[in-house]
Structure 1
């Protein structure tokens, strides 16, 4: 079928394997990935509709949530449609440039996701630890500057991935043993020294996700310190009930992300299908859970959701 080519040539397309070793089980696995994607779309689009229709939610905390919801839609869409086409229709072909674009968007949206989670942790820190300064600190102007910084950071760190791959003189094969165009999955195909690319990939991962995770943990450490100093036991339990799901969600992103980055380099004994499935999940599960954990668990959002729903149904709340 012409899937392989001479290593002295440059590929015009790649072929994505999907999940190596589980080709015959994809019909049982793919519905779960489809459900994750549909739930992510439904939850995040619902949040955006509620935010846009409710003037009472046009506040810094909810603006950050709406940006996170929009980024989650883009992040999950950058991987799920092509992945499902591979699983269902064996549509493995992807052009060289389309592969690089997918790589850029996946890693960029992941970087922005991480930055938004850090911003939300900082927002909660200010709200709980320094409530009197919240209004003067968390402003819409600050959020606008933050979004610009996250976009510049993503483009500045992820952009060199594309340039460095374009500089490879040739590739050993054009078959990518992955469900999507991940940086190291493509780099490992090159018929060249990839040590610089591997080192830069680790630098990018730890300078973005690693630094963000460190400051998120510091923020939540300060939040828990403030929570445990509250005199009321009920207040402490409510605060812990709010923060604990947040921690579980962002840890699922960071743990699976670092597992993916490191297993490409040092996980030779890990079965490929385990690596690929976990790599897929870290891009699909957080976008699915974020609307529930950050959105519908918040009382103001639940109230506005029912108001918007009743408005569209032509009824009113009792």
Structure 2
């Protein structure tokens, strides 16, 4: 086997981990796919040489690509709306999707990814690589052009912010589901007191309506205000289907053969601490929700099979 064939095989062996690193770094399926593709172009040109730890080397290459993308994003981001949720990993509540689950390191809830989006690029890289993928700081340091001690400090600073803003979800998924089900029962009944009881006093609700539905984009804080907002959605309750969103209890609202809302919950200490709602119709139309009988929309010929299914696990053509 020649070096190119050997390197191709090794890259495919590590593709799932590399895509997981890119997703945790970027919070976007398309950006993660672009990062993995760019990493492949780089390593295929450079060759493996005398690399001993191929997996670590490939992770480093992908991380560097992601860091450059984050820095570009930070310079160019001029959002016209206040809330932008990362792409959610969605699967049925009764059966996990191995391809989707491969994106998640431990329990990386959507709320955690929201907080990661507020970090500086170097902080995010240090935190994600060390805390989620166990990359040592002496390997992280050259990527961020700092000493290992300074890289450790970056991760520590990021960890402090994450813990303060993204509570760890309860580990019992069955209990999570019970709390979320109680929330939707209260919504269905229009029971404001029951809603308040299931919400943490400092609960945060974030809704991302995208540019097309800016009026649906907002942040609401506090149990009473979140409950009052949720109580307005009584008519939507019959369309809600249970789901796993980034490995935690959530829901997908489906009507007329299309999804019009995805809701992710963080249940901590038996109460709902965060609710993240994606209602951006454009992004919802392109998510992989085939497990719920919904086929993603075809946007371009790139990255879409003849059957119309986007396959994010495959390299996309260069633009």
TM-score of the superposed pair, with normalisation by structure 2: 0.30
Q: Please state which structure has a larger fraction of its residues in helix.
A: 1
More strand as a share of residues? 2
Higher RCO (CA < 8 A, seq sep 6+) = 1
Report the structure number with the largest CA radius of gyration: 1
